[in-house]
A and B are shown apart, each in its own frame.
Chain A
Amino acid sequence: MHMHKYEKIWLIFGTAALLFFLTVLGVSAFYMGNQPPSCLATVDPAKVTEEKPFSEPGLHKVEGEEWDYELVFVASAFVYNPGHIEVPKGAKVKIIATTTDVIHGFAVAGTNINMMLEPGYISEYVATFNKAGEFLVLCNEYCGTGHHLMNSRIEVVE
């Protein structure tokens, strides 16, 4: 197939760039553990708040895991439970969240924490809070008329 020299150059560059990006992401995901937050655990959305861990939302210290704390959130139409939480600076926290009704987002502005909360599924993300200050938790998936008012706050204290 007759191909112009410049076309060959561009195709090689494009393919090489793509391979490079994919490799970096692949290593980051599988070797360094930066996976998407949706773990495949399921839960009955109607009974979410009746069973652990969602019967006790908030911060809990844990032993024997790779992380120091578990932070449990329950989202429902236009409110996060808890609406405000304090976390010690430098803590490695596993955020565990789900929703009782429709799909909500869970994005902590200024961090890498950004996930979907889908009814029937549990989302998890492990994050280290190295910076002190107040972080806004926003719902970034349209959930109805009160969507833009839905938020929570994570305060990282010394």
Chain B
Amino acid sequence: MAQSKLKEKTDVHTEDHGSLKGTLASVFMVGFIIVITWVSVYFLFLNRL
């Protein structure tokens, strides 16, 4: 089992990745949530100064 994994690793450039569009969309949604929450809390902080 470990042998075939090693062979696959050295062939990584010819491998088909499959579409990563969904992955990109998902992480950008997470990033969006992070930015929104950060900005919201920062404005709350400024508000209370």
Contacts and interface: CB of A to CB of B under 8 A. Distances in A.
A24 B42 contact: yes
Interface residues of B, number: 17
Contacts of A36: none
B12 to A, nearest CB: 8
18 contacts: A4-B20, A6-B20, A6-B23, A6-B24, A9-B24, A10-B24, A10-B27, A10-B31, A13-B28, A13-B31, A14-B31, A17-B35, A21-B38, A24-B42, A34-B49, A110-B48, A111-B48, A112-B49
A66 to B, nearest CB: 15
B13 to A, nearest CB: 7
A2 interface: yes
A128 interface: yes
A4 B17 contact: yes
Contacts of A17: 31, 34-35
